[in-house]
Amino acid sequence: MSLDTMILKMGEGFGKTCAIFFLTLLFSLPLGMLVALLRMSKIRVVSWITRFVISVLRGTPLMLQLLAVTYGPFYLFGLRVARNKLVPVVIAFAINYAAYFAEIYRGGIESMPVGQYEAAEVLGYSKTQTFMRIILPQVVKRILPSITNEVVTLVKDTSMAFTVAYQEMFTIGKQIANSQSSFIPFLVAGAFYYVFNLAVDFVMGRAEKAMSYYK
Amino acid sequence: MENLLEIKHIRKSFGGLEVLTDLNLSVRKNQVLSIIGPSGSGKSTLLRCATLLEKMDGGDLVYNGLYAARDENGRSVYAPPKTIREVRNMFGLVFQNFNLFPHYSVLKNVMEAPMLVQKRDKDEVKKEALDLLEQMGLRDKADAYPCQLSGGQQQRVSIARALAMNPKILFFDEPTSALDPELTGEILKVIRGLAEKKMTMVIVTHEMAFARDVSDYVVFMDGGVIVEEGDPKDVIDHPTRERTIQFLRRMREQ
C-alpha cells in the first residue's frame, strides 16, 4: 500500500477522531463546571459523593472506562452494544474529562480573592450575577493554561477509542499496520496528532492573548 | 436630626472570642464619623457588620428606620432578602484593597452595578459615571484597566464606583492603608471634598490628623468597646481615658 493511500484511508478516520474530540469538549467543559460546583457544595454528603466519583474517574484507566461504558450495559443488563460506538465513546470521554476539568475549575474558583465576592455583594450583585460576571471570567483566564494541557492530552487520548474498535484514525492506522506489517501508519498517526496539537496550541495561545489585557 | 444608621447593642464573636461587646453607634445625616483604634480593637469588624459582610450575633442594625437585623432574645434576626436588598442599596463601601474588578475597564467598573442592580438607563448612568470620574480627576482613564493605574487612582475609581450607586451613607475601611504615603494625600483630598458636599461618611482610619480635620465625630475603640467618643478636637487633642492617651501617644511616635 502506498503512503498516499495510507494517509487517505487514515484521513477518512480523522473525521471521527475530530468528532470524539469536539463532542467530548462540548459536553465535558460544562459538565465539569457542574461537577466542580457539586464538589464545592456546602452539603457535605453531596461534596463527599462527588469527591469519590472524581477519585474513581481519575484513579482508573480511561481505557477501562471506555470498555465499561461500551460493554457494561451488555454484561450487566443484557442490552445490545450500541451500533454507533461514537455514543459510548463520547460518553466515557466526556465523563472522564469532566472529572479533570472539575478539579481545574475548583482550583481556579478557590484561588479567587474573597474581596471580589465582597465588592460585588456590597454593590448588590446577586450570587448568580457575581459568579457569571465577576468570578467566572477571571477564573477562565487563570485556568486557561491548565485547560490547554488537558485539551492537548485529549487529542492524543482519542486514539484509545481503538479499544472498542471505533473506526477513528488510529484504529484504522493500527489495522493497516497489522495487515501490511508496516510501522509507517503509526508514524502517519503521530504526524496527524502532532499537527492537530499545533492547531490546538495556536488557538489556545490566541485565547490566552485575548485575555491578557488585564492582570 | 435623623439617624441614618443605628447600631444597637451589637455583639459579635469569632469562635468564642468576643470581638464586639454590646456596642452602640449612630450616624446622623451629613455626619462624618471616624473610627480610630489599635488593630484588633474591632473597628473593622464593626464596619463589616454594618455593611452586612459579617453577621452580628446580637443587636439591632437599622438604616434610615429600616431594620436590617433586629435583636430577638439576644440573637440578631436578619430581615428577608428583599429588605436586605433595600438596605444594601442605601450604603456604599470603599475597601482597603480597592477590590476593583480587574477584567472591566474603569468606566465599566463604575457603570455596571447601577445598570445591573438598580436597572437604570445606560445613557444616564454613563453620563453620571463620566461626571464622577471627572470629579476624581480620572476622566481620561475611563477606558483604562485597573492594572494600568496607580494605587491612588484605583482607590479613586473605587470611590467613584461606590458613589455611582448614590448611597445615602458611604463607609471607608482604612482607605489609605494600602497606599504609599505620597498617594495617601490624594485620597484624603477626595474624601475631604465629599465631606464638603455633605456626604454622610463613616471612616475607619489610622490617619489621626485627617480624622481630626475632616470628621465631626470621632469614636475611639479598643477591645471591642467604644472607650471614648465625641468631638474630634476633644478626643484626639484632649483625650481623657488612659487607653486613648496611650494609643494616641503611640501613633504620634510612629
Cα gap A188→A20, rounded to integer Å: 19
- Give pLDDT, residue A1: 79
**Secondary structure (DSSP) of B132-166:** HHHHTT-GGGTTS-GGGS-HHHHHHHHHHHHHTT-
A79 band by pLDDT with thresholds 50, 70 and 90 = confident
A78 band by pLDDT with thresholds 50, 70 and 90 = confident
* Percentage of chain A exceeding pLDDT 90: 93
What are A40-58's pLDDT values in tens digits? 999 999 999 999 999 999 9
3-state DSSP assignment of residue A166: coil
3-state DSSP assignment of residue B207: coil
Residues of B in contact with A121 (CB under 8 A): 52-53
Q: Is A119 on the interface with B (CB under 8 A)?
A: yes
Model-level ipTM above the cut of 0.90: yes
A80 band by pLDDT with thresholds 50, 70 and 90 = confident
Q: Is the dihedral angle over the CA atoms A186, A188, A192, A194 positive or is it negative?
A: positive
B2 band by pLDDT with thresholds 50, 70 and 90 = confident
Q: Average the pLDDT over B54-58 and give the result.
A: 96
Q: Is A56 on the interface with B (CB under 8 A)?
A: no
Contact B101 A119 (CB under 8 A): yes
Q: Which amino acid is at A116?
A: Q
What are A88-121's pLDDT values in tens digits? 999 999 999 999 999 999 999 999 999 999 999 9
Q: Is A132 on the interface with B (CB under 8 A)?
A: no
Residues of A in contact with B125 (CB under 8 A): none
Cα gap A122→A137, rounded to integer Å: 20
Residue A161 has pLDDT above 80, yes or no: yes
Residue B1 has pLDDT above 70, yes or no: no
Rounded to the nearest 5 percent, the helix, strand and coil shares of chain A are: 85, 0, 15
Q: Is B101 on the interface with A (CB under 8 A)?
A: yes
Distance between B103 CA and the closest CA of chain A, angstroms: 6
What are B172-206's pLDDT values in tens digits? 999 999 998 888 989 999 999 999 999 999 999 98
